[in-house]
Chains A and B, each alone.
Chain A
Amino acid sequence: MLSLGLLWRALSSGGHEAREKEDDQQAHHRPEAPSRTAAAAMEQERALEVYDIIRTIRDPEKPNTLEELDVVTESCVEVHEIGEDEYLVTIRFTPTVPHCSLATLIGLCLRIKLQRCLPFKHKLEIYISEGAHSTEEDINKQINDKERVAAAMENPHLREIVEQCVLDPD
């Protein structure tokens, strides 16, 4: 995950005004810089913790992990501090095939494993990476509806598939 400073430089048009503003910001915020860097470092650490948990999730159809299939990558995890020791975790995954139910299933696996394994206080949002699916808005809405997720996990058939996918490797 890029630090805010790098992101600004990458996005800015490089115009005079923009650069001046940035210098101003740096000047004003210099005394705060150490804590901002510490916060960004913590967020990055948390992001790696998240990635470590999701990379070993198995794909529902193929005998590979989500990492092996590039469904998730380190950069697909974003973490932002939203309160005291509380973080907003955002994951954007890329399903291998444009198949609705499979994408929803992957979203379900991501949510369930993190719900069970993530040790720090968090709120979780999961999305299909933009442009990766024709009905991505529909899928995103479903996988972020906790009532739908809870009900799905009470369906024995779906539950069994999810449990197999999130089972930790020996």
Chain B
Amino acid sequence: MMKDSLTLLSRIPAHPDSRCWFLAWNPTGSLLASCGGDCSIRIWGKEGDTWVCKSVLGEGHQRTIRKVAWSPCGNYLASASFDATTCIWKKNHEDFECAATLEGHENEVKSVSWAPSGSLLATCSRDKTVWVWEVDEEDEYECMSVLNSHTQDVKHVVWHPNQELLASASYDDTVKLYREEEDDWVCFTTLEGHESTVWSLAFDHSGERLASCSDDKTVRIWRQYKPGNEQGVVCNGTDPTWKCICTLSGFHTRTIYDVAWCQLTGALATACGDDAIRIFEEELHSDPHQPTFTLTVHMARAHSQDVNCVAWNPKEPGLLASCSDDGEMAFWKYQRPEVC
């Protein structure tokens, strides 16, 4: 049962002879952007039953492209590269043109994320900083803040789905949350608990919970508690407290590189260095402040090497994309098991 719930739809050599590091669905779920160690971005679209490469964006970066992110309107794609720059690509029908190159980080850019408003962008780097950029009506990008809170390499940044809140994950084993204060951004809390590098983050659909995954082989679920909350969780002034309400341990045998929370169904998928994809579901009558997550899928050998990324399609429930160090990309269909 744990295996049949996830069916392989197709497997594609997205970045042959290289590593596929990351995948991102566009907001309508019709296109998938992949990026990798061959310094290129590929845009994939479905033609009938097959996924076809629609464009190759190979001229923007000189080194590995680690992550890509679509703007909320779907007209722009940002790429974060080891060459220390972030490229902003503008979509023009089937073509993409490099509209801007954001410079400033001292070394590899590890992640880029677009705020839901579309007017803010965040990047992070091995230089330990998180940068917040402002986009104006003329597509001009300006650095608004340089955040120096982490003490090591910052691996991932992601915006809250409906609040002006930013989260970052780091090699320093922590997760930090930031909010706007006057014309600047400040870190208002640090989530501690992981025992090694935190590789990725994912908010749930409501934004009330945050999932983090780590080299310590666990996934942690954090919940937001606002001042005056009924559970009696202590808050610092007007800032909410984020408390760890669940730890998924004993399931993964190696580093967990990515976690993805399906915005449609609530299913949680993980990408692991043991070549497997796992999916967890919250038990139906679970206490929201002490939830139980059950493993519904353990797809061993999902890829022939480390799985680097898992991404749920934003419009089609159960459609999951994954990619690996072996350069391949795979598409899966997930069906939640009956009794869970």
Give chain A's interface residues, CB within 8 Å of chain B.
Answer: 82-83, 121, 123, 141, 145-148, 150-151, 154
The reply to whether the CB of B63 lies closer than 8 angstroms to some CB of chain A is yes
Given contacts A123-B273, A151-B64, A154-B64, contact A146 B306 (CB under 8 A): yes
Q: Is the CB of B155 within 8 A of A147?
A: yes
B82, B273, B300: residue with the most chain A Cβ atoms closer than 10 Å: B82
Known contacts being A123-B254, A150-B37, is A141 close to B306, with CB within 8 Å? no
Residue of A nearest to B66 (CB): A147
7 contacts between A and B (CB under 8 A): A123-B273, A141-B197, A148-B126, A151-B82, A151-B107, A151-B108, A151-B126
Separation of A125 and B176 alpha carbons in the complex (Å): 29
| Chain B residues positioned under 8 Å from A123 (CB to CB) | 254, 273-274
Q: Could you tell me if A148 and B153 are in contact, using CB atoms closer than 8 angstroms?
A: yes
B110 part of interface (Cβ distance < 8 Å): yes
A148 contact set on B, CB distance < 8 A: 126, 153
What is the minimal beta-carbon distance from B41 to any residue of chain A, in angstroms?
A: 17
Contacts A123-B254, A123-B273, A145-B197 given; indicate if A150 touches B155 (C-beta within 8 A): no
Out of A82, A146, A147, A154, name the residue touching B110 (CB < 8 Å).
A147
**0/1 string, B61-79, CB within 8 A of A gives 1:** 0011010000000000000
Q: Tell me the bound Cα distance from A151 to B306 in angstroms.
A: 17
Nearest chain B residue, comparing its CB with the CB of A115: B325
Interface check B171, CB cutoff 8 A: yes
Which positions 245-275 of chain B face chain A at CB distance < 8 Å?
253-254, 273-274
Kindly identify, within residues 46 to 67 of chain B, every residue whose CB is under 8 Å from any CB belonging to chain A.
63-64, 66
Decide if B19 is an interface residue (CB 8 Å cutoff): yes
User: Which B residues lie within 8 Å of A145 (CB)?
Assistant: 171, 197, 215
- How many A-B contacts are there with CB distance less than 8 Å? 32
Residues in chain A near residue B215, CB distance under 8 A: 145
Contact with A along B190-226 (1 / 0, CB 8 A): 0000001100000000000000000100000000000
Output the least CB separation between A122 and chain B (Å).
10
Residues of B within 8 A of A154 (CB): 63-64, 82
Point out the residues of chain B lying under 8 angstroms from A141, CB to CB. Answer: 171, 196-197
A11 to chain B, nearest CB (A): 25
Smallest CB–CB gap between A21 and chain B, Å? 26
If A145-B171, A150-B19 are given as contacts, then 9 extra A-B residue pairs at C-beta distance below 8 Å, sorted by A number, are A121-B304, A123-B254, A141-B196, A147-B110, A150-B37, A151-B64, A151-B108, A154-B64, A154-B82
Q: Closest CB of chain B to A108's CB: distance in Å?
A: 15
Bound state CA distance, A148 and B108, in angstroms? Answer: 9
Chain A residues whose CB sits within 8 angstroms of the CB of B108 once the complex forms: 151
Residues of chain A contacted by B37 (CB below 8 angstroms): 150
Cβ of B126 to closest chain A Cβ, rounded Å: 7
Please name the residue on chain A nearest to B37 by beta carbon. A150
With both chains docked as a complex, state the minimum distance between the C-beta of A153 and any C-beta of chain B, in angstroms: 10
Report Cα–Cα, A167/B181, bound state, in Å. 54
Enumerate chain A residues within 8 angstroms of B197, measured Cβ to Cβ.
141, 145
CB neighbors of A among B88-125 (8 A): 107-108, 110
Chain A nearest CB from B18 CB (Å) reads 10
CA distance A82 to B274 in the complex (A): 10
| CB closest chain-A residue, reference B196 | A141
Return chain A residues, CB-CB under 8 Å to B107: 151
CA distance A148 to B153 in the complex (A): 9
Kindly identify, within residues 277 to 336 of chain B, every residue whose CB is under 8 Å from any CB belonging to chain A.
Answer: 300, 304, 306, 325
Q: How far is the CB of A113 from chain B (nearest CB, A)?
A: 17
Q: Which residues of the partner chain A approach B126 to less than 8 Å between Cβ atoms?
A: 148, 151
Give CA–CA (A103, B4) in the complex, Å.
46
A146 to B305, CA, bound (A): 13
- Distance of A149 from chain B, by nearest CB (Å): 11
CB-defined contacts of B63 to chain A, threshold 8 Å: 151, 154
Query: Which B residues lie within 8 Å of A121 (CB)?
Result: 304
Q: Within the assembled complex, what's the spacing in Å between the Cα atoms of A145 and B126? A: 12
Query: Once the chains are docked, how many angstroms separate the CA of A83 from the CA of B253?
Result: 12
Report the bound CA distance from A56 to B19 in whole Å: 27
A69 to chain B, nearest CB (A): 30
Once bound together, how far apart are the Cα atoms of A53 and B63, in whole Å? Answer: 28
Point out the residues of chain B lying under 8 angstroms from A151, CB to CB: 63-64, 82, 107-108, 126
CB neighbours (8 Å) of B155 from chain A are 147
Q: How far is the CA of A147 from the CA of B111 in the complex (A)?
A: 12
Interchain nearest-CB distance for B260 vs A (Å): 18
Q: Is the CB of A150 within 8 A of B171?
A: no
A83 to chain B: which residues have CB within 8 Å? 300
For the complex, give the distance between the alpha carbons of A145 and B66 in Å. 14
Q: How far is the CB of A139 from chain B (nearest CB, A)?
A: 14
Min distance, Cβ B304 to any Cβ of chain A, angstroms = 8
